[in-house]
Structure 1
Amino acid sequence: MDLTQFFLGGLPAWSLLIIAPLLFAAGFVDAVGGGGGLVSLPAYILCGLPSHAAIATNKMSSTMGTTIATIKYARRGYMDWKLCIPSVALAICGSFLGSNLALLASDRLLIIVMLVALPLVGGYVLFKKDISPKTPAFPFGKTVALCMLIAFTIGIYDGFYGPGTGTFLMLLLMGVARLDVFKTAGVTKSINLTTNVTSLAVFLVNGEVLIGLGLLAGLFNIAGNYLGATYFSNKGVGIVRPIVLVVIAIFFVRLVLQLLGIF
């Protein structure tokens, strides 16, 4: 087997100059504030992968990185398992549904969805401030129900598209379910890892994943996630915003040109 072909999935060698730094940055961004897919998915598409293959392969690399961050957060005691376990169950259902919907969608439809979603996500990243619940926590039963609803809804989104999932989860879990920042980090990672694994399984079964490329990219994503989880603090958030905004802008232009058949 040609190892170059296996690990690059037919992409030119220069693709590594895009994939390596962006997948590392994506891991760091994802561990600190969520939304690493906003950096990693464009990396694949900018190198020329079709939308379905890019989304599917991105699931493999992001799953590898998210696993590392999740383990680190669990060791730090951020996981409230009474919230995580029921949320994970609903996340599986949502991600399975979203992934199968993505397989039915055409490349053109996926591009249009991205073009609609990117400005919304970009605006959120640009103007968002760190939030923490200012009101008392809900009764435990209501908190669990809200976490499950959020997990199912965002699970559908992550399975169908994905970028921004971690950020949306953190926003909703703090703003709607009223979790504190550390519980939010733990529940977010448990849901995000679950949706990634479920979606990856669907894409693997349907032969959409470039396994070698996903494994190679995943190593860079792991490194970024490890560093990001180590420096999980407000200082890190200042690095996240400019990285994500620059990549969103480049990605948006690339998608417009692709939709017009220019590039």
Structure 2
Amino acid sequence: MNFIPFLIICPLTFLAGLVDSIAGGGGLISLPAFLLAGLPPHNALATNKLSSSIGTTASTVRYCKHGYFDRLIAIPGILCALAGSTCGSHLVLLTSDVILKKIMLVVLPVVAVCVLTDKKEIRHDTSFSLRKRMAIVSVCAFLIGIYDGFYGPGTGTFLLLSLTRLAHMDIRTASGNVKLINLSSNIAALFTFLCSGYILYAPGLAGAAFCLAGHYIGSGMVMKNGTKIVRPIIIVVLILLFIKVISGN
């Protein structure tokens, strides 16, 4: 690769890390970035997983440091996410590039709608037993883990919607659990892609460095209620990237 693809990958992965740590859906920016840089679909998915895994680690550590997670709920969610993502990543390796491109064009606008859905805070529902909440989180983690291993963008948003709307967790605790579960599904898929040989390390590590910086800054903005600042950026970038992805196919 020459230096031009890096001019696409680096700033967009930074922005992806920034918005992903705050509102979720960063993969909706980072995956198209690798595709626009010229990587074939399988290489783009695998390389993006390397970048996002490293970036997600930063915001996950920061959330955990502040205690924004529930250990009893997170542990079964992590285990189910690992299992689901492993299944999904093995499935995508059996899917042709042509089919993957068509899937991306269908899934992209659907995920975009979910990312832009207003996520109003839901108060912790005390009528929910711990066992019921654990069951809901585990099922959602497994199913969304399959999606994350197969495709990925919007995983954090889907998890956040599931934990707040279905498991009725408060938004801050749900966000911490989402990071732990999402990181686990990323690691499971990353391991599969490492064994497959589809990861391109030069663009992947470059993207990871910028994604890491974005996650670190973005997770700090969450602590300072910076979500409103980033939301308009998400809308503009998603519209522009969707147009570019369509024209490139």
For the aligned pair, the TM-score class normalised by the smaller chain equals: over 0.9
Aligned amino acid, residue 47 of structure 2: T
The alignment status of 1:139 with 2:139, answered yes or no, reads no
Residue equivalent to 1:77:
67
Residue equivalent to 2:150:
160
Alignment partners' CA distance in 2, 1:201 and 1:60: 9
- Of residues 23, 36, 54 in structure 1, which corresponds to 2:13? 23
Q: 1:218-257 maps to which residues of 2 (within 5 A)?
A: 218-233=208-223, 235-257=225-247
The alignment status of 1:193 with 2:183, answered yes or no, reads yes
- Of residues 61, 80, 91 in structure 2, which corresponds to 1:90? 80
Residue equivalent to 2:140:
150
* 1:91–1:195 Cα contact (<8 Å) kept: yes
The alignment status of 1:33 with 2:37, answered yes or no, reads no
* Per-residue CA distance 1:85-125 (angstroms, 9 max, x = gap): 11000001100011011111111211111111122222233
What displacement does 1:134 show? 7.2
Residue equivalent to 1:60:
50
Moved more, 219-228 or 101-110: 101-110
* 1:137–1:178 Cα contact (<8 Å) kept: no
Alignment partners' CA distance in 2, 1:116 and 1:122: 11
Alignment partners' CA distance in 1, 2:150 and 2:42: 10
- Of residues 13, 18, 42 in structure 1, which corresponds to 2:3? 13
Alignment partners' CA distance in 2, 1:173 and 1:181: 8
Aligned amino acid, residue 174 of structure 1: T
Q: 1:258 to 1:108 in 2, by over 3 A?
A: farther
* 1:125–1:245 Cα contact (<8 Å) kept: no
Moved more, 249-258 or 106-115: 249-258
Alignment partners' CA distance in 2, 1:110 and 1:239: 33
Residue equivalent to 1:43:
33
Give the % identical residues.
45
Moved more, 240-249 or 191-200: 240-249
What displacement does 1:57 show? 0.4
Alignment partners' CA distance in 2, 1:151 and 1:78: 18
Residue equivalent to 1:117:
107
Residue equivalent to 2:94:
104
- Of residues 166, 170, 184 in structure 2, which corresponds to 1:180? 170
The CA RMSD measured in Å over matched residues stands at: 1.7
Residue equivalent to 1:3:
none
* 1:52–1:103 Cα contact (<8 Å) kept: yes
Aligned amino acid, residue 209 of structure 2: L
Structure 2: gaps spanning 5 or more residues:
none
* Per-residue CA distance 1:189-242 (angstroms, 9 max, x = gap): 011100110000000100010122211211111100000111115843223333
What displacement does 1:21 show? 1.2
What displacement does 1:38 show? 0.9
SS at the partner of 1:187?
helix
